[in-house]
């Protein structure tokens, strides 16, 4: 075993040549703990609930379940939508509610159970979305099923399922029966650990009623939840655009309604609000044929949503979930029809995800809110072309590089540590103008447990350009004076990257069984180089890494 002795001025070079004139410096101290390494990122979601129990859906869910130190939470649309369970882009159904000829409700939990059963068997939990409107209850039921495809007008998806109920008492009874059924099937203790949330983005086309009609929908739904299980957790409103004028107006009005208005269902003042949710999206564009990301709108959405919740004494400690937190808005819009989404297959999605998640921790710390979850609205699309450019975590059962960022995060535990970086963009700069300067964003997220320290390192920039990267010099203070093992994991063009391997194969749309095995090997998080052992002297150690642009690394120190 190779042992390298370290003194304060000596660093371990674990990758590449050193270019002193182009170096970034990161400093971390084990003595400067700033909070828990809580995995708010272990939340995922998608439009199409029926993918859950299909072959590639089950495979991906099993991988998500194993990467997180806590139960992963899943949020899906269309859990109450009427239909035969056929899966399609931005569509799904369970047929949970129909009526007979006399208008008597018929409840059918078979497909909803198939979805929730899949989660529970894997040790996951639903972030159970109450929506959308069953056809028999809709005030405007026709047309109901849409047949949207990439390139179509997005408004085509808003059909009969988006309208208010014609009978709010039947709506409340539906929710009561659903929650009651879940308690009977999974047990009270299990369902008490879930969160129920009402609808999706009611401030845009997903809701065809007024704001007050949504509050009425919410009151009756929340009453149904609490009537079935008084200790259940329910909330909302999952508004789009946390920093948009419409989003901020809606979120404020919703909180005020829950605090002070007369409840439409009970006639009393106030409505249950156990979790508050809103959405945050970035906005990539195409500049001379090249993708340019824009993280600023996403960070501003989060910041303003956090501020609104914190501004009310009644909600300042209420758990917050960013119900969708993504680089842009349409997961099912592939890069063929939306070329600005071409970032999704390669490492740019990975580095953006690492850099943005670190800023979410910063925002929560700076505002002192109760940040519980951030949903990456990305899953998989069954039986679609290979690497079509959907915003997904896997394609045809093969993981994309971005999934390995979550595997890295899953290896981080304990307490988060303060990180100082001379080329890490400030939170204010990212919120104001994203990451557009001459330098890339060289940043880190660090955590320490009893005998381990992990450092997530990225080299990100909004412009989709690749180069050999920069030298990153990492100094770590107050390590115990002992032997320390250092292991590096890497996401770049040569590591943890099935997409680059697929391209080298000739981008086959019908890969052979042998090729698929090769892709499945390339999809996994890969170690970079060999593990080395070093000796910390005077409490100081460090490493120097040459990290390619849009690359991500995880350094694991153990002793």
- Catalytic sites, residue numbers: 201
Q: Which tokens belong to 128?
A: 């159970």
Maximum separation of any 2 CA atoms in the chain, in Å: 83
Cβ–Cβ < 8 Å for 306, 320: yes
Burial degree of 266 (CB within 10 A; 0-12, 13-18, 19+): middle
Pairs from 511-520 (Cβ < 8 Å, separation ≥ 24):
511/386, 516/397, 516/398, 519/398, 520/397, 520/398
Per DSSP, 422 falls in state T
For the record, the structure tokens of 202 come out as 């009611």
Q: Is the peptide bond before 87 cis (omega within 30 degrees of 0)?
A: no
Both tokens of 191, joined, read 């369902």
Written as six digits, the tokens of 374 are 């951030």
The CA–CA distances, whole Å, from 160 to 119, 157, 397, 436, 526 equal 29, 10, 33, 43, 47
**In angstroms, how far is CA 12 from the centroid of its own chain?**
34
Angle, to 10 degrees, between the axis of helix 110-121 and the axis of helix 55-67?
40
Three-class DSSP category at 49: helix
Q: Residue 399's closest CA among 345, 356, 472, 440?
A: 345
Rounded Cα distance between 194 and 74, Å, is: 10
Dist. CA 203–CA 248, nearest whole Å: 10
User: The tokens of 138 are what?
Assistant: 């809709």
CA distances from 522 to 62, 351, 407, 500, 525 (A): 18, 18, 14, 9, 8
């Amino acid at each position: 075993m190779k042992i390298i002795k370290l003194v304060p001025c000596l660093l371990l070079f674990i990758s590449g040549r050193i270019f002193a004139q182009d170096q970034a410096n990161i400093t971390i101290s084990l003595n400067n703990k700033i909070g828990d390494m809580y995995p708010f990122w272990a939340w995922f979601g998608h439009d199409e609930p029926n993918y859950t129990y299909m072959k590639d859906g089950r495979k991906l869910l099993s991988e998500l379940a194993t990467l997180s130190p806590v139960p992963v939470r899943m949020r899906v649309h269309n859990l109450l939508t009427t239909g035969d369970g056929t899966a399609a882009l931005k569509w799904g159904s369970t047929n949970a509610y129909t009526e007979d000829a006399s208008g008597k409700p018929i409840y059918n939990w078979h497909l909803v159970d198939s979805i929730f059963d899949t989660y529970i068997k894997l040790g996951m939990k639903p972030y159970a979305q109450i929506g959308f409107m069953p056809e028999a209850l809709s005030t405007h039921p026709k047309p109901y099923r849409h047949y949207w495809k990439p390139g179509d007008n997005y408004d085509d998806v808003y059909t009969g399922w988006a309208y208010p109920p014609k009978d709010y008492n039947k709506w409340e009874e539906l929710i009561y029966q659903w929650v009651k059924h879940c308690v009977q099937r999974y047990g009270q203790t299990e369902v008490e650990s879930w969160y129920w949330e009402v609808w999706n983005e009611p401030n845009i086309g997903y809701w065809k009623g007024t704001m007050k009609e949504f509050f009425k929908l919410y009151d009756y739904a929340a009453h149904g939840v609490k009537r079935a299980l008084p200790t259940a957790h329910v909330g909302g409103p999952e508004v789009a655009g946390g920093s948009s004028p419409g989003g901020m107006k809606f979120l404020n009005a919703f909180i005020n309604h829950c605090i002070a208005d007369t409840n439409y269902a009970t006639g009393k003042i106030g409505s249950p609000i156990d979790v508050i949710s809103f959405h945050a999206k970035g906005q990539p564009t195409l500049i001379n044929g090249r993708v340019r990301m824009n993280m600023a709108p996403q960070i501003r959405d989060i910041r303003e949503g956090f501020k609104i919740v914190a501004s009310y004494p009644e909600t300042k400690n209420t758990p917050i979930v960013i119900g969708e937190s993504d680089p842009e808005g349409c997961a099912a819009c592939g890069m063929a029809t939306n070329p600005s989404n071409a970032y999704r297959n390669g490492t740019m999605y990975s580095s953006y995800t690492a850099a943005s998640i670190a800023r979410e921790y910063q925002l929560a710390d700076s505002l002192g809110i109760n940040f519980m979850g951030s949903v990456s609205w990305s899953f998989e699309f069954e039986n679609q072309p290979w690497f079509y450019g959907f915003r997904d975590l896997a394609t045809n059962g093969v993981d994309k590089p971005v999934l390995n960022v979550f595997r890295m995060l899953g290896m981080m535990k304990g307490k988060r540590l303060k990180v100082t970086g001379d080329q890490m963009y400030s939170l204010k700069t990212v919120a104001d103008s994203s990451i557009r300067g001459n330098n890339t964003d060289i940043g880190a997220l660090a955590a320490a447990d009893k005998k381990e320290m992990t450092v997530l390192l990225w080299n990100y920039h909004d412009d989709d350009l690749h180069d050999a990267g920069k030298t990153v010099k990492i100094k770590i203070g107050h390590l115990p004076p002992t032997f320390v093992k250092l292991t590096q994991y890497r996401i770049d063009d040569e590591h943890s990257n099935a997409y680059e391997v697929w391209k080298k194969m000739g981008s086959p749309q019908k890969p052979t069984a042998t090729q698929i095995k090769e892709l499945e090997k390339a999809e996994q998080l890969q170690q970079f180089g060999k593990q080395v052992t070093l000796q910390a002297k005077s409490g100081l150690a460090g490493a120097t890494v040459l990290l390619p642009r849009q690359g991500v690394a995880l350094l694991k120190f153990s002793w």
